[in-house]
Amino acid sequence: MCTKSAERALVPPYRVQIGVQSFLRAGNAPILPLMSDAVSTDDDDEGAPSSGGGLRKIIHVDMDAFFASVEQRDDPSLRGKPVAVGGAGGRGVVAAASYEARKFGVKSAMPSVTAKRRCPDLIFVRHRFDAYKEASREIRAVFEHHTPHVEPLSLDEAYLDVTEDRLGIGSATRIAQLIRQEIKAKTQLTASAGVSYNKFLAKIASDQNKPDGMCVIRPGEGADFVAQLPIRRFHGVGPKAEEKMKRLGIETGGDLALKDIEFLRANFGSFADYLFRAARGIDLRPVSAHRVRKSVGGERTFSEDKSSGAELRETLEEIIDIVWERIENSKARGRTVTLKVKFTDFQNMTRSQSIGPKPASEWIEDKATFARISRELLSEALPLAMPIRLMGLTLSNLDHGDAAQRPKDNAQLSLL
Ligand SMILES: [Mg+2]
């Protein structure tokens, strides 16, 4: 198992151990993410071949400080310097920060004013989506060279199922090393990779030795690996969920694994099943190739119905935080916000609002705008006819670049 900053070149080839299959089968339903994934499958692809409950070889590849790295690559004067992609003005927000800037505590989503205070020498550059899409296309070609089973999560991040790889290399660790080398050679950019036997673990692993690093979590190691992780590293656990867990005495994956499913359901509603499995390193979701993301968002089912305006507004703020984090992670930008609620009689109601008529170059690109529109949508819907059991937000009308015109043979990138 790898620990932070472990020597990554020394990982032996990835091998499947049959004994773990029964362990995996213990979780008998597909893992449920915190929020519905809000993705739609736009063709007849059914994902990677089913393994019949057996182990897969999964790689999660994530580019390092992607937007900022592309800027540093294309403008040598920015190399080695603290760079933020985003507007420097009063209402500007950092979209991406170079590692030099991160050392000063500059993070994406931070107001530019705060970032400048933390790092007075910070250089702001405007984003160039076309350049990021071009690099993304090159990266995708590297993935496709090794496997047809590629599930992009954003411009710079994807899951790959290499259980059967095109070149017959066999070792997922070796394939991940080659992919990182090929990406470097083609784009002059670095990528980190996580290798494991499911998507949840592979994603955690890719983050373990960033930047330009790699980590392998082998069959049998998942539960132990997850046990030592701070709860915030679990995909889907945002600042609010983290706070709540700490109040309940849950600081690590190990603490979480000690809680039974009833306790989790009482405290986390629809999030419980996901947490229960994740705490055991279990995730049975297949890598689903050729998805085109039409929206990014999520919804939350409550353990108790909600009706008062104050309660609904408070819940909305939590959902804004979580969904905006998701939007940022997916590096999506869109034009339409939709609020959805489900009443106690299971009827749904949705309210939408868009900005900028096409082809205006206006996008919802900062949290303040997303939050303002979300609050307006809720205010318009109040008072509600009856209590609700679910609330959700999505951002749609996404910028897909050329991917929307993806040819039928699926050779082209799906960008978001
Ligand atoms: Mg990245």
Residue 251 lies in a domain: yes
Same-domain status, 274 and 300: no
Distance between CA atoms of residues 106 and 83, nearest Å: 9
CA 157–ligand 1 middle distance (angstroms): 6
Same-domain status, 249 and 325: no
Distance between CA atoms of residues 279 and 294, nearest Å: 30
Final residue in a domain of this structure, among 78, 104, 128? 128
Distance between CA atoms of residues 359 and 214, nearest Å: 41
* The pLDDT of residue 406: 31
Same-domain status, 315 and 341: yes
Residue 103 lies in a domain: yes
Domain count, the chain: 3
**Residue 306 belongs to domain with CATH number:** 3.30.1490.100
* The pLDDT of residue 328: 82
Same-domain status, 302 and 360: yes
**Residue 112 belongs to domain with CATH number:** 3.40.1170.60
Which of these, 273, 275, 270, lies nearest to 245 by C-alpha position?
275
Same-domain status, 385 and 330: yes
Residue 306 lies in a domain: yes
**Which one of the listed residues 157, 182, 299, 325 is annotated catalytic?**
157
Angle at the Cα of 107 from the Cα atoms of 106 and 109, rounded to 5 degrees: 130
Same-domain status, 262 and 337: no
Residue 183 lies in a domain: no
Q: Give the β-pairing of 83-86 and 123-125.
A: parallel
| Phi (first) and psi of residue 31, to 5 degrees | -70, 145
What's the domain range around 358?
295-399
Same-domain status, 305 and 341: yes
pTM: 0.68
From its phi and psi, is residue 170 left (phi > 0), alpha (psi between -120 and 50) or beta?
Answer: left
Question: Mind listing the pLDDT tens digit of every residue in the chain (416 residues)?
Answer: 565 543 333 333 333 332 232 222 223 333 333 333 333 223 334 456 655 556 899 999 999 999 999 999 999 999 999 999 988 887 788 989 999 999 999 998 888 999 999 999 999 999 898 899 999 999 999 999 999 999 988 889 999 999 999 999 999 999 999 999 999 999 999 999 999 999 999 999 999 999 999 999 999 999 999 999 999 999 888 888 899 999 999 999 999 999 999 999 999 887 898 899 999 999 988 898 866 677 889 888 888 899 888 999 999 999 998 899 888 877 778 889 999 999 988 888 999 998 875 555 578 888 899 999 999 999 998 888 899 999 999 998 887 543 333 322 222 222 22
CA 22–ligand 1 middle distance (angstroms): 33
Residue 342's contacts (CB-CB under 8 Å, 6 or more residues apart) are: 301, 348, 349, 388, 389, 390, 391
Residue 148's contacts (CB-CB under 8 Å, 6 or more residues apart) are: 166, 289
Distance between CA atoms of residues 280 and 223, nearest Å: 5
Distance between CA atoms of residues 416 and 404, nearest Å: 10
Between the alpha carbon of residue 228 and those of residues 212, 222, 224, 280, 320, the distances in Å are: 23, 11, 7, 12, 29
Which of these, 385, 333, 323, lies nearest to 364 by C-alpha position?
333
CA 407–ligand 1 middle distance (angstroms): 26
Same-domain status, 274 and 307: no
Residue 114's contacts (CB-CB under 8 Å, 6 or more residues apart) are: none
Verify whether residue 157 is a known catalytic residue. Answer: yes
Same-domain status, 328 and 395: yes
What percentage of the chain's residues is helix, strand, coil (to nearest 5)? 40, 20, 45
Q: Three-state DSSP class for 51? A: coil
Residue 369 lies in a domain: yes
Q: Kindly list the protein residues that place their beta carbon closer than 5 angstroms to ligand 1, a single-atom ion.
A: 62-63, 66, 156
Same-domain status, 243 and 331: no
Token pair of 41 as six digits: 């499958």
* The pLDDT of residue 2: 67
What is the 3 state secondary structure string of 318-359?
HHHHHHHHHHHHHCCCECEEEEEEEECCCCEEEEEEECCCCC
Which of these, 258, 294, 234, 251, lies nearest to 416 by C-alpha position?
294
CA 210–ligand 1 middle distance (angstroms): 9
Residue 137's contacts (CB-CB under 8 Å, 6 or more residues apart) are: 413
Residue 189 lies in a domain: no
CA 152–ligand 1 middle distance (angstroms): 12
CA 190–ligand 1 middle distance (angstroms): 10
Which of these, 218, 168, 160, 167, lies nearest to 191 by C-alpha position?
160
Same-domain status, 306 and 395: yes
Residue 170 lies in a domain: no
CA-only gyration radius of the chain, Å? 21
Amino acid at 145: H
Residue 174 lies in a domain: no
Indicate if the alpha-carbon torsion angle 368, 369, 374, 379 is positive or negative.
positive
CA 143–ligand 1 middle distance (angstroms): 16
Same-domain status, 365 and 340: yes
Final residue in a domain of this structure, among 234, 253, 278? 278
CA 261–ligand 1 middle distance (angstroms): 33
Give the other-Cβ count within 10 Å of 108's Cβ.
Answer: 21
Burial class from Cβ neighbours inside 10 Å (0-12, 13-18, 19+) for residue 93 reads buried
CA 69–ligand 1 middle distance (angstroms): 10
Distance between CA atoms of residues 28 and 39, nearest Å: 23
